[in-house]
Amino acid sequence: MARPLASVKSAYVVAAGRDGWRTPTRASAAGQHRDRVFLSLFFADAALALLATAAALVAGARAARSDRRPRRWLHLTAALVAARLVIALVVLGRGLLLADSRLFVQVPLATLPVAWAVWRPGRAAVQVAAAGVTLSAWWLYVPFGPQDTGYVLVGSVAALAMIGGLSTGLGAWRRSGTRAARVPWLSAVFLLVPAVALVLGGQAGAVAPGGHQHAVGGGGVGVGVGVDQLTGPRDREPDVRVTLTAAHGTVRLASGRTVAALTFNGVAPGPEIRVARGQLAEVTLVNLDVEEGVTLHWHGVDVPNAEDGVPGVTQDAVRPGQRHVYRFVPDRAGTFWYHTHREALDTVRRGLFGSLIVTEPDAARFDGIERTVFTHEWPVEGGSAVPALDRADRPARYAAGAGRKVRLRLVNSSTDPRRIHVGGARYTVTALDGNTVRGADPVDPGTDLLLAAGGRYDIAFTMPDTPVTLGYSGDGGTAALALSPDGTAPPADLDDGTLFDPLSYGTGTEAAPVAYDRTYDLRLDDGFGFGQNGFGFVSSLINGRLYPAVPTLEVTEGDRVKVRIAHRGFNDHPLHLHGHRIQVLSRNGTPATGSPWWTDTLNVAPGDVFEIAFTADNPGIWMDHCHNFEHAADGMIMHLAYTGVSSPYEADHMPE
């Protein structure tokens, strides 16, 4: 019998394997696109919180000794807390979702007790102020979701009240000289809030026996529909039939370095699959010897739920010696890709991915030069990951006659966003994540493209009689693609240029709906939290929670859904919703004014506030996660679940 989502141990596992808590993901070389002002505010606030805590604790300790006056330390604390208040107000100007926890909890917990202590300095007032400043810093480093705001405030205020009462009463008690009076009662009460928070956080983040989330009841596609019933066509002959065999192998990069890889049909990236829009594709996955198990996810293609390739939710992982058949009909042309969704942090990086190109039916053959190019980082034994374009980890040169049309399909299969440099020709961005851009005009040479992890850009240009270079910021790598009429020109050295902005590119903006059936807010934080492997620092919190405790987004078929996303941390998060494409309505308060910005993998940078929308038109239980697989492994995963849909699958592996 199909089980509800409550018992789906969706192995994100699922998205990624992991081997313990990680340090925050390094800042990628694409970091120049980030909002430097917000990052400066973020790190300044974190530093001020620590400094204010240290000063407040010194003031509190001195207040406990009647012969030492804490005024100087108290005034220093007040100045540091005032600086935090200024930062919170500046952040508020960028959006309430970025600042609400600071303004409603963190800053009041520090400013009000400190103001009271400065006004009427005394032992109790100073010690309450020290506790308030420390709790303020605690809630900065251990982010909480909006659903927890009331509990956090009540618990913190209660602790401060107890500390004030104890401080007043202990003064007289300690003069009695009894041994019990010398017990550090204030410290015990102060530590009560973090201790309770850790216990409750651990309970919220724990996996309940047999599962972690609950399915959505109600109507929709019907009560009791299992994802295994939401399949592609089974009653007709396929138009395209492909077999992909996953196996261990070796990949040789252009430099001669070798990779202990995982391959499809003996190559990595895997074979390109081409199918026309409206055709039925049948892909048989065979696992020869990949012990982790393998699935196939069709990134960006809105396949039926059973064909989505998420182990523990839409299917069981395919074990060595097993096979699985996928059937789907692409509903739009464009550049897509496929990859395994089993232990993806390791297995995608080692080569289990490839391109999926969907063409228009009866389209004339492209009369020009067309290339699909992956930006990838290969794990070379005994060294750091090597950035490459496909397998070219050093400059590659190709001949392209002057006057010929060139189409480049760019796919980012690595974990970080990539800043793509294009120099030597004006080019047109013709598609974004498989969605045609309306009214696209050529951009100037040197305009850079920010390619999200998992994202795609299609660009086109007419080859001039001078060289054209494609390169990208790859952490010191030399990968580049040089096109020239005779194929001998080296790649040009390209500096960072103006960054292409999809928000205002092209024409034909569609009017957004005036009403939505459901609206959700997502706050992305970096800090300490509870995941499946315990407590640690992560770059992965959604509304103060990590998988499996992140609440499900619940929808009914036909709903128009609006989601507001605010990124309050310091690492990029490429958010990918399976089974649907989303429309960007605005970024940082600025409405989209160009061609409708449709995407399936949205890079959300620090300080960004996005409004997006989608239509719930593909029933199922869908994964919604950060496509930086390190962040997904840490717990940046949630589900989009339709009413009445359940899953019969259970994960047979959880992250270690």
Q: Which residues, 6+ apart, have CB-to-CB distance to 538 below 8 Å?
A: 21, 22, 24, 526, 527, 528, 529, 531, 546, 631, 634, 635, 636
Is residue 312 domain-resident? no
Is residue 98 domain-resident? yes
Tens-digit pLDDT profile for residues 371-420: 999 999 999 877 778 999 999 999 999 999 999 999 999 999 999 999 99
Listed residues 172, 205, 238: the one ending a domain: 205
Is residue 174 domain-resident? yes
Neighbours of 75 (CB within 10 A): 15
Number of domains composing the chain = 2
Is residue 534 domain-resident? yes
Q: Among the listed ranges 61-75, 141-155, 616-630, which one has the minimum average pLDDT value?
A: 61-75
3-state secondary structure 539-588: EEEECCECCCCCCCEEECCCCEEEEEEEECCCCCEEEEECCCCEEEEEEC
Listed residues 173, 205, 237: the one ending a domain: 205
Is residue 400 domain-resident? no
Is residue 382 domain-resident? no
For residue 169, the model assigns a pLDDT of 66
Q: Among the listed ranges 81-85, 151-155, 238-242, 464-468, which one has the minimum average pLDDT value?
A: 151-155
Neighbour-count burial of 437, counting CB atoms closer than 10 A to its CB (0-12 exposed, 13-18 middle, 19+ buried): buried
CATH code of the domain covering residue 547? 2.60.40.420
pLDDT band at residue 495, thresholds of 50, 70 and 90?
A: confident
Residue 575 φ/ψ, nearest 5 degrees? -85, 130
Tens-digit pLDDT profile for residues 157-211: 888 888 887 776 655 545 545 544 443 445 555 666 666 666 666 555 554 333 3
Q: Rounded to 10 degrees, what is the CA torsion of 158, 160, 162, 167?
A: -170
User: Is it the case that residue 477 has pLDDT exceeding 50?
Assistant: yes
Is residue 240 domain-resident? no
- Top pLDDT among 153 and 194 is at 153
For residue 522, the model assigns a pLDDT of 97
Which range of 122-131, 485-494, 543-552, 613-622 scores highest in mean pLDDT? It is 613-622
- Top pLDDT among 155 and 425 is at 425
Mean pLDDT of 347-351: 96
pLDDT band at residue 63, thresholds of 50, 70 and 90?
A: confident
Instruction: Provide the domain limits for residue 82.
Output: 29-205
For residue 208, the model assigns a pLDDT of 38
Tens-digit pLDDT profile for residues 516-542: 999 999 999 998 887 666 777 887 899
For residue 171, the model assigns a pLDDT of 55
For residue 125, the model assigns a pLDDT of 87
Residue 304 φ/ψ, nearest 5 degrees? -60, 150
pLDDT band at residue 219, thresholds of 50, 70 and 90?
A: very low
User: Is it the case that residue 329 has pLDDT exceeding 90?
Assistant: yes
Is residue 165 domain-resident? yes
pTM of the model: 0.89
Q: Among the listed ranges 136-150, 303-317, 471-485, 566-580, which one has the minimum average pLDDT value?
A: 471-485
User: Is it the case that residue 78 has pLDDT exceeding 60?
Assistant: yes
